[in-house]
Structures are given as C-alpha cells and as structure tokens.
Chains A and B, each alone.
Chain A
Amino acid sequence: MSFISIGFALFVTAALIVYYTVPKKCQWIVLLIASYVFYAINGVMNFIYIAVTTVSAYVCAALIEKKGTEQKEYLKANKDSITKDEKKSYKAGIKKKQKRILALGLILNFGILVYLKYADWSIAYINLFRLSFFGRTDFIPFKNFILPLGISFYMFQTMGYLIDIYYGKYEREHNFLKFALFVSFFPQIVQGPISRFGELAPELYKETAFDFDRIRSGFYRIMWGLFKKLVIADRLAAFVRETIAQRDTYRGLYILLAVFMYSMQIYGDFSGGIDVALGVAEMFGIRLHENFERPFFAKSISEYWQRWHITLGTWFKDYIFYPLSLNKGILKAGKFLREHGFEKLGKRIPIYVPMFMVWFTTGMWHGSQNRFVVWGLFNCLFIILGTEFEPLSLKIVEKFKLDEGSFCMRAYRVFKTFWLMSFLRIFDISSDVPSAFNAFRLIFTDWRSFRLARVYEELSLPKEDFIVAVIAILVMFIFDLIQRKGSVRKRIFTLPVPLQWCVLSLLIIAVSVFGYYGPGYDAGSFIYGAF
C-alpha cells in the first residue's frame, strides 16, 4: 500500500476511528495491529524480516538485562566481603558477556541488512576478480533482492535501542507486544524518522483522548507534505532525469538548472514524506522527532547535516562516531603521535578517523554503488577542509572587518553551502563516478546554448509545469522563512476561521489540481523509501 493513495487514506481513517473508539488502555494494541496489517499488505516476506529483528532484539535485550541483574545481586550479596579490585574485575567480566550478546544481535541484524543490500555489489566485484585473475566467464548470478520496506529505518532504530540497553541508558521494554510496536510503528516505517526508545515509547504507550484540533493540525501537515511531494518533487523528477541522461545534448546551464531542481526534488520528496509520516502520527496524538530543519538555510556543511535527515545524523553520531572517537585504541594512537612530535596529527586522529568512517557508512547506506561512497567521502573532505581553514577564514573576516552577522555575509554563506551540497548531489543523479565528474565539468561549458524554450519543449517540463514548479518552490521557500519564527500551522490557527478554511482549501486545491499525475507517475515511490 502506497503512502500516497486512497487506500492509505482509508486505512488511516479506519485506524483512527478504531483508535479513538476502543478503551484508552487498548489504544497501543490498535496501533500494533494497524502497523502489522500495513506491513503485511506491503508483502508477506517483509513480515519475516521485521519479525526476526523484533524477536532477536527483544531476546538480546533480555539477556543483557539478566546479566545486569546478576551483577547487582552478586555485588549486593557480597558487598562486605569483596575488595575493590575484585568488584572491578567481576564487573568487567559481566560487561564482556553483555558485549558478546550485543555483538550477536548487531551482527545478526546488520548481517541481514548488509546481505540484502550489498550482495549484488559484492558479486559484481567477485565476478570481476575471477575474470581478471583466472579468466573465468562463468559469472555468479546476481541475487536481485528486493529490500523489505523501510528495513534500514526500523533496523537502525531497533539496534540503537539495543546499544542503549547495553549502556544502561533505559530499562528494557518487558512487554513483547509493546516492544513489537516500537519496532514497527507504521507511519515512520517507510522512510523514518529514526526514533529513540526514550522519546517514542512513552508516546506510543500513552492513553490519548480525541482532540479535533490535533486531527486538524495533522491533516494540515499531511497536505503540506503532499504539496511538496506531488506539486514539486514529482513534477521535477522527469526533467532532472532526462537532462542528466542526455548530457551530450544538454550542457552548461541545463545541467546547472537540473542540479538546482534536483535539490528541490529530493527535499520535496524526502521532507514531504516525513511531513506525511509526522502528520499521520500527530493524528494519533504521537509526536515523532523532526527530521528536517530548513537545511537550505544552513551556513556551513556541518550545519547542513545537522538540519538534513537529522535522526540519521544523530544516529551515526551516537552509535558510530562517538564509540569510535572514544575508543581507547584510537585515543592511544592519537596520544602516541602527540608525544612523538606529531602534535597536530595526533590531536586530529580521534576525530577525523571516526568522521571518515561515518561518511563512508553514510555513502554505503545511500546505495551499493561507488558513486555514493565517493559522495560521502567528498562530504567528509569538505567538512575537514572547513574545519582546517576556519582559523584562516576568521582572520580574513577580522582583517577586512567583515560583519559575520550582517545579511550579506549570512546570505553568502547560505548560498555557498547550498550550491556546494547541490553540486555533490550530482553523484546521486549520475550513473557512475566518471559520469558524475563529467557532468560537473560540463556545467562550465556551452552556457550560450541555453534556451528556456528547449526545456519546455524537449525536457518533460512544459511551460505551465515550469511556472507551477517555480511558484511552488517559492511558496516552500516562504514557508521555510516564516517557520524560522515558529510553527506555520500555529500561526494559521490564530487566523479568523474563514481565513483558516481559505488556507486549507488552497492547499487541497493545489495538491489536487497541481499535483503531478502525468505519464509514468508513481507517487507512492519515495526516493528514500528504497533505503
């Protein structure tokens, strides 16, 4: 069942009616049933993978807790007879056992994800190796797995929970069915956000009274998400694809325009889908973590990544960056270098090595193709360059007495960050790494050949669609600007009632009339839904 379909709307409506009709203490059960029905409708095989993740994480968390309880009881019983060193050694032993259980859970789950996602990528390299070194042409056939719906989103969320249980951050959820709901809550399963147990669990298990204002607020958010997805993203998709594919014909400003439009497309697609997810959850009285915070207003790449796909970024920070950065081995390596004349290098090792790993993983997560890895590593490189050149940048600002807070300086930084990130997305829309570099090179050629009429006539973006896209992007930009000073919906709700109806009607009309339902239209497929 597509996220954007009449079927999904009916499904959510039915779930809402049942949710607010049953006794409040049973509401979470309605959510669980709805989540599993949603998942099963999308394919029975999906069901097996999510069941494996749920059961394995539940069992591992229980075993980790059991070891923790053993430790508490032992230390309590022997508190007078045990020495400090014995206590320390006992605790280390328990920690080691807990670590093994955690490792088992992580390897099993991430093993499944890696196998499904990277089997064909690995087979391609194995085939190439066999051909190059042994001349073998009996190629291993590709597996062509279809990734279960939202597997990496629920996998990351559940493994985050398991790691938190290991570190003793939360008490584990003892009720298996409640835990199953935490893993499978349907609005967020397609493309996130990736929630933390401490934030999501109380929302899922609480009792919620019907509130018309909340339903209305959620509905506005869903419509806004549909506007971004259907009016902007889906309208631009074919134009971007065709321009990049026909780069022998369309160069210079055509590619530059496609790069700009792709940034708008992917933002509309991903953040629009998140708006739908958050809006649906809000109707059930459940607050999910925001995943975007006006990323195109970021003044540096680091800031951009704190505003784009926020929940994945914080997941990588907490579960990959810090564990590596605070790893004793890496800290010792840094110290060794500092003490042996490599002060600057030694100081940077515990930050830059984990950063490299985070960006390598981020690239791999986006897709099992080299171009995504290169894209990730370029992000890493730009962040490192930004950090290393910051003192020089500050000196320039000081020397020329530039005002960092001035509109011009802020606009310059926003402009620079937007285009840097947009250029990097060429790796996203190109077929491979050489094509991406070639597209980048072609941007700077043949600017004179640009004619807007050719965009209208030849590139799946007729004049009317182009105008609608430009107006819709401007509307999105203005809404983002207003949002800087607080929720746009809250402002709308302070307007007189007839005006509120006007806004809602305009939104519904915009989605119904200007939503892109052209040839090859497939509103259900979100770019990030395939991750």
Chain B
Amino acid sequence: METVIEILKGVHPEVDYEKETGLIDKRIFDSFDVVNIVGELMDEFDIEITAEHMVPENFNSAQAIYRLVKTLEEE
C-alpha cells in the first residue's frame, strides 16, 4: 500500500490518499494522471493493466488501486 501511495503522491502530493475516495469522480485525477499512474504501477509491480481495468471504480481511491494491483498480481 505504501508503494501505491508513494506513486500517487508523485502525481498529486497535496491529496490525502488515506481518506480520499473520489479521485476520479471529483476530477482530482485527469486522464493524463491516470495513464501515467498506470505506467508507474505496471513498472513497479510488473503487472499488465488493460482497457477493461480502466474504469473509475478502480482508480477512485488508493485502496481501490491497491486492490487492483493485488488482483493482477495474483493472476
């Protein structure tokens, strides 16, 4: 989880990722941010994120992103 938050802080350091659950819905992240975060996640965790994972539910909070990473790591 720490690594995920570290990656997210690299994009928007001002956000409280422990509490925020509307990263996409509140337009804190734009499409540029999401794609660049995905790049970092794929690099860091050696996972493959594809079109079907690109839904707001997977990127609305640090917890949701962490869950996505864990799911893909287990595949």
Contact = CB atoms under 8 A, between A and B. Distances in A.
B56 to A, nearest CB: 14
A169 B52 contact: yes
Interface string B24-53: 000000011101101110110000011110
Contacts of B40: 335
Interface residues of A, number: 20
The interface centre, meaning the residue of B49, B51, B54 with most chain A CB atoms within 10 A of its CB, is B51
B31 A351 contact: yes
A322 B31 contact: no
A323 interface: yes
A194 to B, nearest CB: 15
A322 B51 contact: yes
A317 interface: yes
A207 interface: no
A287 B32 CA distance: 35
B32 A347 contact: yes
Interface residues of B, number: 15
A160 B50 CA distance: 14
A147 interface: no
A325 B38 CA distance: 10
Given A326-B42, A328-B42, A331-B42, A350 B36 contact: yes
B36 A323 contact: no
A463 interface: no
A347 B36 contact: yes
Contacts of A326: 35, 38-39, 42, 49-51, 54
Contacts of A317: 51
Contact of A335 (B31, B32, B39, B52): B39
A325 B54 CA distance: 11
A348 B52 CA distance: 21
Interface in A343-390: 347-348, 350-351
B58 to A, nearest CB: 13
Nearest to A346: B36
Contact of B39 (A323, A348, A350): A350
A325 B42 CA distance: 13
Contacts of B54: 322, 326
B32 A348 contact: yes
Interface in A318-334: 318-319, 321-323, 325-326, 328, 331-332, 334
Given A319-B51, A322-B50, 15 more contacts: A169-B52, A318-B51, A318-B52, A322-B54, A323-B50, A325-B35, A326-B38, A326-B50, A331-B36, A331-B39, A332-B39, A334-B36, A335-B39, A347-B33, A348-B32
18 contacts: A167-B50, A318-B51, A319-B51, A322-B50, A323-B50, A326-B39, A326-B50, A326-B54, A328-B39, A328-B42, A331-B43, A332-B39, A335-B40, A338-B36, A350-B36, A351-B31, A351-B32, A351-B35
Interface of B: 31-33, 35-36, 38-40, 42-43, 49-52, 54
Q: Which 6 A/B pairs are nearest by Cβ-Cβ distance?
A: A331-B39, A322-B51, A318-B51, A350-B35, A347-B32, A325-B35
